[in-house]
Structure 1
Amino acid sequence: MPKVGMKAIRQAQLIHATLTVIDRVGLADASLALIAKEAGVSTGIVSHYFGDKNGLLDACMRRILYELYLAVETHRRQAGQQPEAQIRAIIDGNFDVSQVTAPVLKTWLAFWTNSLHQPDLQRLQRINDRRLFSNLTAQFARVLPLQQARDAGASMAALIDGLWLRMTLAPQPMTQGIEKARALCYHNLALWLNRPAD
Structure 2
Amino acid sequence: MPKIGMEPLRRKALVDAALRVIADRGSLSVTMSDIARQAGVSPALAHHYFGSKEQLLIETVRSLLRQLRDDTVTALKAARTPRENLSAVIRVSFQADQFAPETIAAWLAFYAEAQRSEETRRFLVIYARRLRSNLLANLKKLCPPDAAGRIAEGAAAMIDGLYIRQSLKSAPINIEASIGLTEDYVTMQLRGIE
TM-score (norm 2): 0.91
Deviations 1:67-125 (A, max 9, x none): 1112222222222x221111011000000112122221211111111112111111101
Partner Cα separation in structure 2 for residue 102 and residue 143 of structure 1:
34
Question: Unpaired runs of 5+ in structure 2?
Answer: none
Higher relative contact order, chain-length normalized (CA < 8 Å, sep 6+): 2
Structural RMSD (CA): 1.7
Give the length in aligned residue pairs. Answer: 192
Report what 1:177 is aligned to: 174
CA distance in 1, matches of 2:28, 2:84: 41
Q: What secondary structure sits across from 1:99 in the alignment?
A: coil
Structure 1 position 192, deviation (Å): 2.0
Cross-structure match for 1:59? 59
Shift of 1:28: 4.4
Whether the aligned pair in 2 keeps the contact of 1:76 and 1:89 (CA below 8 Å) is: yes
In the alignment, the residues of structure 2 paired with residue 157 and residue 34 of structure 1 have an alpha-carbon distance, to the nearest angstrom, of 34
Match of 2:21 in 1: 21
Q: Which runs of 4+ in 1 moved over 6 A?
A: none
- Superposition map of 1:25-104 within 5 A: 25-79=25-79, 81-104=80-103
* Partner amino acid, structure 2, of 1:54: E
Identity of aligned residues (%): 32
1:193 aligns with 2:194: no
Partners of 2:108 and 2:92 lie apart in 1 by: 18
Structure 1, unmatched stretches of 5+, are none
3-state SS of the aligned residue for 1:57?
Answer: helix
Structure 1: distance between partners of 2:40 and 2:97: 25
SS for the counterpart of 2:97 is: helix
